[in-house]
Amino acid sequence: MLNKYARAFFTRVLTPFAAFLIRRGVSPDAVTLIGTAGVVAGALVFYPMGEFFWGTVVITLFVFSDLVDGNMARQLGRSSRWGAFLDSTLDRVADGAIFGGFILWYAGGGDDLVLCAVSIFCLASGQVVSYTKARGESIGLPVAVNGLVERAERLVISLVAAGLAGLHAFGVPGIQYLLPVALWIVAVGSLVTLIQRVVTVRRESAEAEAEAAAQGEQDDGDEQQNASHGSEAAT
């Protein structure tokens, strides 16, 4: 849902900024690298200290680079395989840093091994969810399903909850429980999404194999028919 609607909205909003960077001679790859570095720094510096509000502010400032770099590439007409590869690879790095920050907090100052384990599951399942789609497409399947919780949903749920939970340091009572709830939601949603994609790949694989088998039988029949016509002509 977020990929379908929110991405289009923010793309329109960020287009003037992307054009400004182009005029300044900034490349899309530079924006990708700087954005990822900012997200990693915000997550791994602030989150392990329990500074969720300021960490989320820093991350939010840089996370939109994921939309800006693609916008710049389209304006420049430079969309390339390398750009897509770099963007996807660094997205995984950013995701790992965000959930890694949660893991370090709950393994340290947060002192909650259950939530540490949930954060680890969110990190691992998010990577596997992305891999299932990429691997399915690499073997020629469309993987025609998005799933319940994709990367955009994982980030929005986690970052919004973390930012609000950080308001506890400013005296807002009870709000710190939003982050644990969000992590459980992301964990369950990621598991459901993983199952959806695995089931889809299995179905599409079976359909592709059945279609290939039917095509093979048809080709064999055509060859036999051609051979029969050839024998009749020779006679």
What are the angstrom distances between the C-alpha of 76 and each of 11, 21, 22, 73?
A: 15, 11, 8, 5
The answer to whether 222 is a known catalytic residue is no
> Taking the CA of residue 178 as centre, how many other CA atoms within 13 Å lie in the half-sphere pointing to its CB?
19
**Which two structure tokens, joined as six digits, stand for 94?**
């950013």
31 in a known ligand binding site: yes
The secondary structure of the chain in percent helix, strand, coil, rounded to multiples of 5, reads: 85, 0, 15
Task: Give the span between the Cα atoms of 56 and 41, in whole angstroms.
Answer: 11
Q: Is 216 annotated as a binding residue?
A: no
Tell me if 87 is assigned to a ligand binding site. Answer: yes
Other C-beta atoms lying within 10 Å of the C-beta of residue 123: 21
30 assigned binding-site residue: yes
8 Å CB contact between 30 and 65: no
Tell me whether residue 66 is annotated as binding. Answer: yes
- The CA–CA distances, whole Å, from 86 to 2, 99, 137, 180 equal 22, 20, 18, 32
Is 74 labeled as ligand-binding? Answer: yes
Task: Establish whether 32 is an annotated binding residue.
Answer: yes
Q: Helix (H, G, I), strand (E, B), or coil: what is residue 149?
A: coil
As annotated, the active-site residues are 91
**Binding-site residue ranges:** 29-32, 66, 69-70, 74, 80, 87, 91
**Binding-site residue ranges for a CDP-1,2-diacyl-sn-glycerol:** 29-32, 70, 74, 80
**Binding-site residue ranges for Mg(2+):** 66, 69, 87, 91
